[in-house]
Structure 1
Amino acid sequence: MKHGPACGIGVSREYRAMSVVILTVSEDEADIRLDRYFRRHYPHLTQGALQKLCRTGQIRVEGKRVEASTRLQPGQSVRVPPIPKAVKPAPDTPRQLDERLVREIKGMVLYQDKQVIVLNKPAGLAVQGGPGITKHVDMMLDGLRAEADDPRPRLVHRIDRDTSGLLLLARTPGVAAKLAEAFRGRDVKKTYWAVVVGRPDPLAGEIDQPLARLGAGANAIMVAADRKDEDAQYARSTYEVVDAAARKFSWLALSPLTGRTHQLRVHCESLGTPILGDPKYGGATAHVDGFKDQLHLHARELDMPHPAGGRLVVTAELPPHMRETFRALGFTPGSTPKPVRRGG
């Protein structure tokens, strides 16, 4: 019997016995459902075909019959019967990046370990590509591989192109799945800082305002929607005035409780206090002479469950245009704490 290469995090070992394949579940694949495990290793296999292979006992875990919903644990053996056209995906070949892009993406790193990377994304840099976008974070991620054969880091969530601040990456597919589940379960606490035009009343509260998409493509915007609108998306945020310059400008701490596109920007507009410099929302009110005409919205803090246990808290320094505005308005942000992981 011929054994394959030793496995590392995120890579299953395999050996072949005749036409049957035996896979060994890796540490990175802990607690993954069997159907998702097969989707990762044999993406062409349909859910119906997988369930049939389970019912007939052709797929087994540790020699036992299983269901598609069975949770797998590291070190378990998975018997894979002959699957027509079961071609393993091609190796994830690193993209050759210009050295300037490598330095740029590495310069954004605030925290990294074996499971996660946290970036401080500058304002104006898109997270992913699209019409007219030739440079974005996603195209630069190969520059964060520690070794050429390491998995390519994966985006866990998104922030707007014009928004600066914290962006979370997973080093492996398994970690990405765990973090995505944490985001869906609202176990991740996100705090944004914004400078808005005006002062909201009351000074703190919750915004429960459904949103709907208007238009399509790059010109699409989100608008406040009636709850009875069939296209309305449930959207909630909290806000608190940290400081104010009379009634002209306010520094808000915002937390999105749902994850809708442009949610905080529309919610601030719905308060009657649009975010300073917003190119899409707030109209002329959002643009004030004497201040940088850039969106003043910053993903300041992430407080999240770490995949290896405990919680990780990371804080991002304000971008230059917001530091300048803070100084002009007399707002004092204080020092930026270093990343800390508690417990685990």
Structure 2
Amino acid sequence: MIETEQRTPDLQAILDEVYAALEPRRGEGKVADYIPQLARINPQHFGMAIVTVDGAVYTAGDAELPFSIQSISKVFTLTLALGKHGETLWNRVGREPSGSAFNSIVQLEHEGGKPRNPFINAGAITVSDLICAGHSPREVIGEILRFLRYLADDDDISIDPAVARSEAATGFRNAALANFMRAFDKLSSPVDNVLGVYFHHCAIAMSCVQLAKAGLFLANGGKQALTGRTVVSRERARRINALMLTCGHYDGSGDFAYHVGLPGKSGVGGGIMAVAPGRAALAVWSPGLNQNGNSLLGSVALEMIAQRTGWSVFGP
């Protein structure tokens, strides 16, 4: 058998090339205008970051500018909830792609109030309820923030209070989902407490660099790359990655897997965090969304990066 030498890609050159190719397309897509604060974001922003398992950082564009990570936070709240409840968590939420909009209530009714997966809104509200158990919302929000600061090794990560207020003021559908699940006796904590935690963790602001650093444990077998400290077991990291691959982009997850081939999680703030197992964590940000609520330019950028690096989990 002939062995081929694996070439180490020039990651900075790849990012620069992708940025130059896509820079004329900045502003494409539609910002999430149903959350008033997000509607004010300049759609011209475009940033990318790659952090490798040996700690090297590569950036392009607005990679240092914080933005609202929104549903990307669900990866980290799931990690926390699994740490508290282990595999019993799956009694409350499923592991299957939804095939429906991220805020759909129809599927929830058909399935007796049990959400399809932890990354759609109903599933993430359930995860928030699991973290809330026996604690005040303020304590839980503080725990989530401390966890992200620990993962990214950055104490500057914070919640954008204006976005949190905007979410709470307009989150009627999320309130409906939470109350609907409460009617099925699927939430244990008071609905207002659970929603408070949910709205605030979605309002966390991070840059592409911070986000890639925070997600790096998922690329490194569950361990922080630089300290070697275990965040989760290797098996749990693999399973979280599997869920991101199959469910991380709502009803666009199959399309993302087809084009990009990396576990990833999107947010309606225009960010996407992706994982190249054993190699790196990546984060991109462009506020304009496609029809599925995923960053339009960010998805294209990750496809181009995956092609140039050969990092797709399905092979180069």
TM-score normalised over the length of structure 1? 0.25
The structure whose residues are more often helix, as a share, is 2
The structure whose residues are more often strand, as a share, is 1
Q: Which has the larger radius of gyration?
A: 1
Relative contact order higher in (CA < 8 Å, ≥ 6 apart): 2
